[in-house]
Amino acid sequence: MFSKSQTVVIVGLLSAGLGATSLSWGQAEDDAIHELLGRLGLESYKNTIKGLTEFGDRRQGTTRNRDAVDWIEAQLQAVGCVNTQRITYTFDPEPRPPRAPRAAMAEVDLTTASGGEVGRNGSGPGGSSIYGYRIGTGVNRDLAAQPDLQIRQRNVEEPVNGERQEVYCTKIGTTYPDEMYIIGAHMDGHGVNQAVNDDGSGTALVMELARIFSSPDVETERSIRFALWNNEETGLNGSGAYVEQRKHLQGIENPPGSGRFPEPRWLGMIQHDMMLWDHGAPRADGSVSSEQRPEADVNIEFQSASELADASMRLAFIFKAAADAYNTDYPATVGPHMTNTDSTPFMNVVPSISLRENERGAHTGAGWNPTWHTPLDVWSTFSDKDFRLGLNAAQTTLSAVAQLVGASITK
C-alpha cells in the first residue's frame, strides 16, 4: 500500500494531467490489490506465453502473424474482454537490401562462448565502462541457424507488404469512462524462433492483466485499454498507426449523450517489451551467464528528452512504488532512457513509460541478452527464474494500475 508521502506524489501527478481526482488508499483497497495479485500466477503466465509459441516468431506480414492476431483476440474474448476491436493499416515499405548471414546463435554455449565480437563499451581507464563488455547484436534471417526442425518449418514463410491488423480490448470505467490508461506490448517478432521473450513475455503479461481486470467481480473507476501492437520490429508501425488514427478521437462521446467514449482520454501509456532475461553483462571472453542473476530487476524507463518527461518520470516512480510494495521476488529501478519501443509514438502526447528486463540502450543494445532476435529465443532457453521476472513485472503493472484506476472487487 502506498504511504502518505507516496500518495502526495500521485496527487501531484494527477494534477499534472494523469487524472481528475485525488487518490488515497486504505486497508480495503490494499486487500483488493492483494486479491487481484493472487489471481496472477506463474503457471497461467507461462501457459499464455506457451500458446504464443505455437505461431513461431509471429513475423509481421505472414500467415503465422495473422493467425496469432486471431488467437489473441479469441483469448481476450474468452476471458471476458469481449469488446475487442482492431486497428487496420497498410505497411508497404521499399524492399530492404539483403542482410549478411548471422552466426548460428543457437549453437552458442552461453556459459563458455561469445555470440559476437568482444569489445569494450566506453572510454574509461583501459577502455572500461560502467556497462562492462559488449557482444555483437543483430537479426537472424537464416533458417538454417535454427536447429529445431519444427520451429524452422513454422518460420519458413517470408513477409509480404500489405494490410496489417492489431487487436485491443477495453475495461470500461464505472465513474470516468472517458479516461483511460493504455497497457501495451507487441505481439510480432522475428529471428527464426518462437519469440518467447521478444515479445511473447510482454504480450502474455498484457493478456493476463486483461483476464484479471475483466473478471465480472472487478470494477474500475477509470477505463483500461489492453493493446497488442503489430509491426514493432519494423519500426513501431502498429503503435504509430494507433496514435495517428485515434489521438484526435480522445474523450469524444459517440453517439452524443450515450455515455460511450470509443477513445477515452489518454492518462498514461505503459509498454512491456522483453521481460525475462536479466543475466548480467557479457564477460571478458564474451560468454553470458545461463542463470538469472540474483540482483535482477524490472527496469521502468521514461524518455528524458520527451515533451512530457516530468509527468512520465512521475508515472515511472508510481510504478516503482507499487513494485516496492507488492513485488514478490525482484525489485524495480527507474531510468530515463526509454527508446525503440511502442511507447515512443505516445511519449509527446501522453505520459509514457516502458517496463523491460534491461535498460534498452546501455544493456540490451550492448548484447546483454543473446536471445534477442536470434534462434535462442525459444521456450527451452528460459527457466522459471526467468519467467518469474516477467511475472514480477506483471505484479508491478497490476498493482500500480489498480490504484490509478480505482480498482475494487464487488461482493
Lowest mean pLDDT among 57-61, 117-121, 222-226: 117-121
**What whole-number distance in Å separates Cα of residue 153 and Cα of residue 87?**
29
Q: For residue 134, what is its C-alpha cell?
A: 559488449
What is residue 23's predicted lDDT score, i.e. its pLDDT? 47
The alpha carbons of the chain give a radius of gyration, in whole angstroms, of: 21
- Whole-angstrom CA distances from 190 to 146, 152, 321 are 12, 12, 34
Is pLDDT larger for residue 132 or for residue 80?
Answer: 80
**Count of beta carbons in the 10 Å neighbourhood of residue 90:** 10
Q: Can you tell me the mean pLDDT for 309-318?
A: 98
Q: Residue 263: what are its φ and ψ, rounded to 5°?
A: -130, 85
Residue 52 has pLDDT above 90, yes or no: yes
CATH of domain 4-94+101-409: 3.40.630.10
- Quick one: cell of 248? 484526435
What pLDDT does 100 receive? 56
In whole angstroms, give the CA distance from residue 201 to residue 378.
11
Residues of the chain with pLDDT > 90, as a percent, come to 77
Q: What would the pLDDT profile of 384-398 be if each residue is shown by its tens digit?
A: 999 999 999 999 999
In this predicted structure, the answer to whether residue 18 has a pLDDT above a threshold of 80 is no
List residues bridging with 272 in a β-sheet: 185, 355
Q: Examine the pLDDT at 9 and tell me if it is beyond 80.
A: no
Sign of CA dihedral 39, 43, 46, 48: negative
Q: Give the N- to C-terminal CA distance of the chain in Å, as an integer.
A: 21
**Tell me, what's the pLDDT at 3?**
43
Which is higher by pLDDT, 315 or 110? 315
For residue 190, give the C-alpha cell.
522475428
Residues pairing with 165 in the sheet? 88
Grade residue 285 by pLDDT with cuts at 50, 70 and 90.
Answer: confident
Note whether 10 and 320 are within 8 A (CB): no
Strands 298-301 and 332-335: parallel
Three-class DSSP category at 64 = helix
Burial class of residue 2 in the structure, from the number of CB atoms within 10 Å of its CB (0-12 exposed, 13-18 middle, 19+ buried): buried
Give the CA angle between residues 319, 68, 378 to the nearest 5°: 70
Return the sign of the alpha-carbon dihedral for residues 80, 187, 313, 395: positive
Dist CA 50 CA 207 (whole Å): 13
Peptide bond into 384 cis (omega under 30): no
Say whether pLDDT at 134 is over 80. Answer: no
* Mean pLDDT calculated for residue range 153-164: 98
Mean pLDDT of 303-320: 98
pLDDT digits (tens, 9 = 90+) for 324-379: 999 999 999 999 999 999 999 999 999 999 999 998 888 998 889 999 999 999 99
Note the pTM of the prediction, 2 decimals: 0.90
Phi/psi for 124 (5° steps) reads -75, -175
pLDDT in tens, 339-354: 999 999 999 999 999 9
Extract the C-alpha cell encoding 403: 490504484
Residue type, 228: L
Cα–Cα nearest to 104, from 148, 159, 157, 64: 148
